[in-house]
Structure 1
Amino acid sequence: MTTLTVGGQGFRPYDVVVGRGLLARAGERIAPLAKGRTVIVSDETVAAIHGQALSASLEAAGVRTQTITVPAGEASKSFAQLERVLDRLLEIGLDRKDVVVALGGGVVGDLAGLAAALYMRGIDFVQVPTTLLAQVDSSVGGKTAIDTPRGKNLVGAFHQPRLVLADIDVLATLPDKQLRSGWAEVLKHGLICDAAFFDWLAGDGAGGACGDPAALERAVVRSVEIKSAVVSEDEKEAGRRALLNLGHTFGHAVEAELGFEKAALAHGEAVALGCCLAFRYSAREGLCPEADARRVEAVIAAAGLPTRLDQAGTFDADRLLALMAGDKKAEGGALTLILARGIGQAFVAKGVDASSVRAFLIEEGAAG
């Protein structure tokens, strides 16, 4: 078991605990934070698998709890479900000493976290992430949001959790597609700033993509270390934190064009594709070696993740470009991309020429 502390200027430090068997002992860790009651927010699928274990642990620790469930899938990151969760919190009568517990993947964590940020102008919440993607990425750092038809995560707030419990054992219940989706975010962390970590993920640690618990635990710990170091310097993405969006500007545009449908790309699959596009675009512009772009593509493909646009669908270059221009990192209508000078050497590129990106997308197979 490993405990990492996330802290920075402007927010209260909190622990991220990574280990096995944490769900059964969650009550003893959450009880000191919950002076009154807790409300578990989960999706219908996760609640059926893990909800009873968490509720029992909380009740055994003397914490009264109720559960709110939402439909599984990205579509629950919506105004409609946010309103529904907030209305239920009001109906239950939570006060400012009570705690919301997000039990689920990134969708639940984002939705429950935003509800906690808005409820009575902000109450405490705890993240209990049940997917690899959530454990290594969305549960840490305080980003909460919902989607709109105009783009992903465009309505939200920064609201740091009080505690994150990342139980490696729960990952054994994940479908292969979701495990691979989370592995994409793990690979992303190596691509950003740790070439040695990427080498391990591509070699001895590759079993994590297939569910090896020891490899998964090491991958989660290192990913949280990388993310927490960045968040501690730049909570609200004014500078360095934008690096964590490697692959996301391309990936979010693809997701938005597909409509965030449940049957379409998982978020991590879109990020994997986006990382490949970012590295190939970097190589096209002479910023990073072609060999690095080819290696990134090979490692991502070996993990069973998409690397090419045509694996996701049929796209129009102008439509994708318009969606990219609406990304949160864009400034004054100009594109901001996370590009790379090599593996482990990502950087923020502002004012990227839209015509060159359009030409690149057409080269990649998008319609012109």
Structure 2
Amino acid sequence: SFEMIIGILGIMKAGGAYVPLDPNYPPERLDYMISDSAISLLLTQQSLVQFLPENQAEILCLDTDWSRIANYSQENLTSPVKPENLAYVIYTSGSTGKPKGVMNIHRGICNTLKYNIDNYNLNSEERILQITPFSFDVSVWEVFSSLTSGANLVVAKPDGYKDIDYLIDLIVQEQVTYFTCVPSILRVFLQHPKSKDCHCLKRVIAGGEALSYELNQRFFQQLNCELYNAYGPTEAAVDATVWCCQPNSQLIPIGRPIANAQVYILDSYLQPVPIGVAGELHIGGMGLARGYLNQPELTAEKFIPHPFAQGKLYKTGDLARYLPEGNIEYLGRIDNQVKLRGLRIELGEIQTVL
């Protein structure tokens, strides 16, 4: 919603960090997230207040509480934000049964946005579709890539990605040029006969799941635009690598590191594996998150000292290998994590509930 974007901009300009809460989450999960993140101010809409668990936060409804908001100063704030300050906390599934809050800083997301503007040639003539739930970090890509480049932002209705008829009509009606989605949604999109009417699309960015050879081929058979395969965990500020897909490619790699990102494929002794040999993918560079909120042990386990330089590396738990030409191929997981519509799910969290 527009209120969500207004709220996020206000929070960040005031120097705060935002924590997106999905009203569709179970009450127990929402209660844990609100408590764990020690939220002091909760911005919402009046219709959603009933779904909130009891909490100590001050609640402000951005659609009905404008009389309260009007009492505050309208002076333009001088932003105190620095690159190392916290920008947002997004919760992902945790193997212990509790979600974990990933703390992303301004430096990381600004680096991703600068890369997006340069790599995708974003400008004021483009129209970017915002359709990803705000509890998923691709929403950061959609909103801020638009606002920082001067592009137009087309905001879909809540859960609009579930309605392919609506999605296609919106793309055509608003002449959307950029569209991001997970491959499972892209597959349903391409199966719809009206998808061929989306001549306005210039680039589609797929990420959050493995992109198959079959889906890559079908895309270029139906649409006359570019397709990108983007890879990156929440812990690396949305994207760590990107590959521009080709119509006749037999392999669908995840590409090469974006600007100021480092990618290493290492063995269990943290030594680089030879080209073509599988190892665990590690990420370093400007995009790294600060760690996990209130979980110092897990942070130390996953964000390890950089073995070859200063700083940290994030252990992704993803298996990958370097291809001879320098691209990286994603091979799967080394643990029990799975993905559903791009959302990370730890099977341990399900086992704990059961």
TM-score (norm 1): 0.32
TM-score (norm 2): 0.33
- Write 1 or 2 for the structure with the bigger share of strand: 2
- Write 1 or 2 for the structure with the bigger share of helix: 1
